[in-house]
Amino acid sequence: MLHDPNRIYIFDTTLRDGEQVPGCQLSTVEKIEIGKALEKLGVDIIEAGFPISSPGDFQSVVELSKAIREPVICALTRANKGDIDCAAEALKSAKRPRIHTGIGASDNHIKYKFNSTREAILERAVEAVKYAKSFVEDIEFYAEDAGRADNVFLAKMVEAVIAAGATVVNIPDTNGYCLPEQYGEKILFLKENVKNIDQAIISVHCHNDLGLATANSIAGIQNGARQVECTINGIGERAGNTALEEVVMILKTHKSLNFTHKVNSKHLYELSGMVSRMMRMPVQPNKAIVGKNAFAHSSGIHQDGVLKHRETYEIINPEDVGIDQSEIILTARSGRHALNHHLERLGYTMDRIDLDQVYERFLTMADGKKEIKDDDILLLMGDRAESNYKDGLSIKSLQVSCGDQASPEASIKLHYKGTDHEASSNGNGPVDATIKAIEKIIGRNFNIKEFNIHSIHSGSDDVSKVDMLVMNEGKSYKGYGFSTDIVRASANAYLDALNKFV
Ligand code: KIV
Ligand code: ZN
């Protein structure tokens, strides 16, 4: 098979760089669960851990090496024999093992971290790659803080490690310092100035300290890199790493970039939730691609546009990332179109509803609340039928007597098509008497298939919510009623359902 020059390799480091976030440590079992989900997602490489850092990390790399068969399993080391021995041991069972070794490349790191010289560091880099190569074939070398390193020295280092056997050269912007243009130029400089660069894949590893991680990674691949290191939800040291979901959806959305990869974007949302739950690290609501609000529309103008044609305000189909559909959030800024969308979803059809009246009452309710949920809409509809429905049945008065000394009896006055109608009935309890009195007026028996009463909060002064499933001639509708009076709430629910039968 011909090698695809535009193939992007997705290197996931959620379990290594991502797990470095304070408080986000995972157990080995959790890591395996995430590892399997990453395998299903289709990533090419999973960085499983930094084995020398702790016995737990070592064990996780061992277990991931056994459990994961398709992606390459990678283990991180510093440029020393002890780290490399430990990584090689942890990777023993891996089907496709990779050692990721490296050392600082910027003068800042060379001088202050290592108290060394460029020449000595270069020698250590080469030695580390050669030593790692004695264990496994696939060696990735990272030139730490490459973002701030001198490009000429960096090119020299990259050339030397490739000659020593590195198959991938990672150019990390460790401190998230670069601008996209600078970072892109750095990758291009290496492409053009490292003689043996065609013998290795260039990898980008960008941190998000200035919010540029994803932009820098894309600039990197546009200038010749073919591997992107990233994490789910963009988690990682400090402000985090490049977010995997962002890279994948940029490549999918901008087809003109002409890059290919193996990730199935439909699993992104699920995996984001899994990582967030296991790491106890909430995803910010406005996070691109996977945040709670990424496909939620709340302004009236946007809602109207999306309902007319999704693409007016959405560049990504939510189904492509595993979300069923966009969300139209009802707030005081929503218009009739958005309200009607939810009414229809809840079974209220346009032809029976007086939308202007409902909308007016909706606005009064929304002014006092941040967001209107389904229950609020049902409350709105089950409460005052006379103003919700065109020609609807509504209660003008209801009188009920019951107790130890009296057989339950209800008298009701209904308003229907401009006229009032009255009836009374006995029944097997006050609710039954009320339903029978209503049936006397409408002259038909409807079949109540389900009847549920719930309290909304608690306490004897609480509002009751009644829902009923009413059937007639093969059709069934659900009705909702609310009141502090259970009998009144039941009558409201019954009439709400009847009003849905045309
Ligand atoms: O940010 C970085 O430089 C790293 C390396 C260890 C690859 O995470
Ligand atoms: Zn990093």
Average pLDDT, the chain: 93
CATH number, residue 416: 3.30.160.270
The number of beta carbons lying within 10 Å of the beta carbon of residue 278 is 16
pLDDT of residue 311 exceeding 60: yes
pLDDT of residue 2 exceeding 60: no
115-129, 303-317, 378-392: which range is least confident on average?
378-392
Dist CA 77 CA 139 (whole Å):
11
Same domain, 269 and 345: no
Give the mutation target among 207, 229, 241 for probing the ligand 1 site: most ligand atoms within 8 A of CB.
Answer: 207
Burial class (CB in 10 A: 0-12, 13-18, 19+), 235: buried
pLDDT of residue 314 exceeding 70: yes
pLDDT of residue 1: 47
Structural domain includes residue 288: no
Q: Which ligand is nearest to the CA of 50?
A: 1
Dist CA 166 CA 412 (whole Å):
87
Phi and psi at residue 68, to the nearest 5°: -105, 130
**Is the CB of 140 inside a 6 Å radius of any atom of ligand 1?**
no
Which residues, by Cβ under 5 Å, contact ligand 2, an ion?
A: 17
Dist CA 370 CA 226 (whole Å):
46
- pTM of the complete model: 0.81
Tens digits of residue pLDDT in 316-367: 999 999 998 888 999 999 999 999 999 988 878 777 788 998 898 899 888 8
Place of tokens 């590893």: 205
- Per-residue pLDDT band for 425 (boundaries 50, 70, 90) equals very high
**Is the CB of 17 inside a 6 Å radius of any atom of ligand 1?**
yes
Same domain, 350 and 395: no
Dist CA 399 CA 70 (whole Å):
72
Q: Which of 42, 41, 60, 151 is nearest to 106 (CA)?
A: 151
pLDDT of residue 106: 98
DSSP assignment string, 193-249: H-TTGGGSEEEEEEB-TTS-HHHHHHHHHHTT--EEEEBGGG--STT-B-BHHHHHH
pLDDT of residue 120 exceeding 50: yes
pLDDT of residue 417: 79
132-139 mean pLDDT: 98
pLDDT of residue 171 exceeding 80: yes
Which of 216-220, 291-295, 348-352, 357-361 has the highest mean predicted lDDT (pLDDT)? Answer: 216-220
- What lies within 8 Å, CB to CB, of 294 at 6+ separation is 286, 287, 288, 323
pLDDT of residue 457 exceeding 70: no
Structural domain includes residue 422: yes
Phi and psi at residue 70, to the nearest 5°: -85, -60
Q: What's the domain count of the chain?
A: 3
Residue 435 lies in domain: 391-501
**Is the CB of 142 inside a 6 Å radius of any atom of ligand 1?**
yes
Tens digits of residue pLDDT in 81-117: 999 999 999 999 999 999 999 999 999 999 999 999 9
% of the chain with per-residue pLDDT over 70: 97
206-212 mean pLDDT: 98
CATH number, residue 95: 3.20.20.70
Burial class (CB in 10 A: 0-12, 13-18, 19+), 365: middle
Structural domain includes residue 116: yes
Nearest CA to ligand 1 atom 3: 174
Helix (H/G/I), strand (E/B), else coil: 289: coil
Picking from 341, 372, 403, the residue at the C-terminal end of a domain is 372
Structural domain includes residue 380: no
Atom of ligand 1 nearest to the CA of 229: 7
Query: Nearest 10 degrees: CA dihedral of 36, 40, 42, 44?
Result: 20
Which of 276-290, 387-401, 470-484, 487-501 has the highest mean predicted lDDT (pLDDT)? Answer: 276-290
Dist CA 138 CA 144 (whole Å):
19
Q: Which ligand is nearest to the CA of 102?
A: 1
pLDDT of residue 459 exceeding 90: no
